[in-house]
A and B are shown apart, each in its own frame.
Chain A
């Protein structure tokens, strides 16, 4: 466990202008509960005030954090900074929607201390954007990116979605090329997943959207990795690419390496000293609990050594660093499995670590299972 490292702070902003049909994160398409939510985030901050020593990342996610107006954002940020301690070089990220960004808003973000913007571009093809239920056009994203650069943001990340029916690898490469023209420091390229309780899942079940075949998915994945590596991006996690180590998402790394993090807001998850707990996934319940002077926790778990190991392998398999040899049982069976997985090109061994290959990334969810 990484207790020596500084913690991460996550704030969940469960509001959006409209719900995207593929998204499973908890969010409401309405402003009506923003004020009570804000008041109770304050309560929650007070609740955890002294439980975490020092943070070196702050991440506003959602939902759509930029859906909040400047005034609300300012109150929120002030409250956070007044109550928690942060390292001087803290990575401060906000997830943004291209529609929400104008020069005024971007300047506010700058003033509030954000030094990393994660922009939900998804695609530079308007047809794709309408399929994905996005409200903005490719042009909107271009404008936003230019604006962010001109206002001095030096760490930009874009979210892109790929691998859906009707999209060719060639078309996808066009979006990637377009994205690269803005020289983003970071890219999150998500293969479209049919998440539970989303509109896309329903459409899939009705046969109205067809998922790609396993073979097609593999081809898309490999092409993406290849393309971005050719353009000097490091493929450091299943869906994450960075233009150099300095631009790895420091915050997300905490999730993948058992570094403590505190999540505030409805449905947010926290982890500290081998326990994990999570908040209720409803703004109303969240507010009611906090107004009643209680934490908004829905449930928690204390992880056993075995569970931590299982997670280390499963999470490690998703990253370029892989996982420590020590995490797997030191028996004959494991050795035999290692040999077999090595021969079939799924993993390689380096410096006492099991490193997934690109082929291994594709089966990361299964890798941990091989050793238990």
Chain B
């Protein structure tokens, strides 16, 4: 155990975390050069494409130090997005140290700070690493100053590297052996293991990733999950090399996996404590909490006959994603579907993409919404995450919506535009912090609903890519909430309804009308698009009918071609929804959520 090191790499998005992980794996010789596939830890297509890690992963690396000692490194990868901050905290709780990776050109960003704080909460030993020193725009001195001043860390310890070019990697490996302490805990004590991840394997069931703090676990043991008392018989334990490598046992200080006939990932709670049924620990490890969804949206099949297939796909998807919750839902316009809860907008997008890509589903997602509270005149309180259930306005005493604390890091020249953006998004109670000359940390209390739309995109735009953003939940605050409906030729399209603050309803309705006008193809008749609150029309646009498409000639040689074109269009229509006589492409449902054109 003296030669075991458990650590994470923490970084702001795009600062090169996965590239560094790949280098470490390569340098320790776990994988042959020619078999090397970039970003080994990000093994989902979406992760690789988006360049972010969605799930936690662990890998055990053998390392022989310069003074010829044999080490075993457990690198625990953490998700790189605020939606998954709880998973991050559990992964960090499984480590003794962390490499804090900072881009030599970008410097300290919002998530650098957020991740550092998270790591410090778990008393991790921090090794600052400045990456991308090969860049022309690299400003090592500035970043070192930021490390000293903004982060309060010892810049002397900082390691310089370029993960891309492979320079400085040996220094990183040596620093891990020297600065990160070995794990503590006794194998003789009762088993206490922290679950930091679980994934589904179609042959073996759920594979639980955990860190053992005390005790020992072997196949044949009966384990107990402390949050719900469920027991399972252990079939296999082991460590992750490039694939699972089974072992006779796992002991205190080690990081590895347990397979115990657990059917779905949903039976496992990240943050839960595993102990032995025969000899349990008295107290679970601290920090366990049930993760709750914060963003809600409905998913419908494009073609209503695909409902069953979507249902099956969601069940299967859920095997590997405990954070997604869903229940049956139905809409007058779209038929049967599912109301789903997500950890955040990124989580929502990932679910959408994976359902489409991996499960071949054609789906329509409705406007994401947060959970609102309404106090009614009869003294009761209702919680609503679906605009369909917006209460009768006359019965509403007051509405309440969730607020977050948004932290934004950006060069100070963007201060004005950031404040404008936050104020426009109903941000209040702003605070400023000038950690280094030229850089600014701005905090705002902002309704979550204003952030889940397009806030991050807009922030990136107004700061020309320099702004970064992180958030924490604050509380529920009173708010004048209305329901905004969209009507097509006078017919209400319920999946396009949104709950919004009264002041924001009109701009949002205008935006929705304009977006729909762009997305809905011209028909043979005029289509009126209207936004309304109750019976009052607050926005409108029109799709004018198209007038000519006929070809001049149609003789023997043209008929087949013409029919094939019709058949193609017919097929295309299957991916659209018909409401009344209006055909709406799938993209229209997404487009209404996109940024307002400025």
Contacts and interface: CB of A to CB of B under 8 A. Distances in A.
Interface of A: 10, 25, 190-193, 214-215, 217-218, 221, 238-239, 252, 255-256, 261, 263, 267-271, 276, 278, 301, 307, 310-311, 314-315, 318, 333, 336-337, 340-341, 343-344, 346, 359, 361-370, 372
A369 B557 contact: no
Which of B557, B569, B570 neighbours the largest number of chain A CB atoms within 10 Å of its CB? Answer: B557
A238 B546 contact: no
Interface stretch (B332-340, B414-422, B573-581): B573-581
The list of the 5 closest CB pairs from A to B, nearest first, reads: A344-B525, A269-B556, A190-B552, A362-B548, A364-B550
B581 A337 contact: yes
A278 B557 contact: yes
A361 B573 contact: no
Interface string B542-579: 00011111111111110110110011011001000010
Contact of B560 (A215, A256, A269): A269
Contact of B556 (A10, A337, A365): A10
Nearest to A258: B559
Given A190-B553, A311-B562, 13 more contacts: A191-B552, A252-B555, A270-B556, A278-B557, A310-B570, A315-B554, A318-B554, A333-B578, A362-B547, A362-B550, A363-B524, A366-B524, A372-B570
Range of interface residues on B (Cβ < 8 Å):
20 to 34
Main SS of the interface on chain A?
A: helix
A190 B552 CA distance: 5
Interface of B: 524-526, 545-557, 559-560, 562-563, 566-567, 569-570, 573, 578, 580-581
7 contacts: A191-B552, A239-B553, A307-B563, A363-B546, A363-B550, A364-B549, A369-B573
A9 to B, nearest CB: 11
Contacts of A369: 566, 569-570, 573
Nearest to A361: B550
A340 B545 CA distance: 12
Contacts of A343: 525
Contacts, number: 110
A367 B548 CA distance: 11
A101 B228 CA distance: 97
A344 B554 contact: no
B547 A363 contact: yes
B570 A261 contact: no
Contact of A363 (B548, B554, B569, B573): B548
A269 B555 CA distance: 9
B572 to A, nearest CB: 10
Nearest to B555: A255
Among B551, B552, B559, B573, find the residue whose CB has the most chain A CB atoms closer than 10 A.
Answer: B552
Given A252-B555, A336-B581, A318 B550 contact: yes
Contacts of A269: 556-557, 559-560
A192 B567 CA distance: 25
Nearest to A347: B524
A6 B511 CA distance: 59
Nearest to A220: B548
A221 B548 contact: yes
A343 B550 CA distance: 20
Contact of B553 (A193, A307, A336, A368): A193
Given A217-B548, A369-B566, A261 B556 contact: yes
Contacts of A276: 559-560
A132 to B, nearest CB: 14
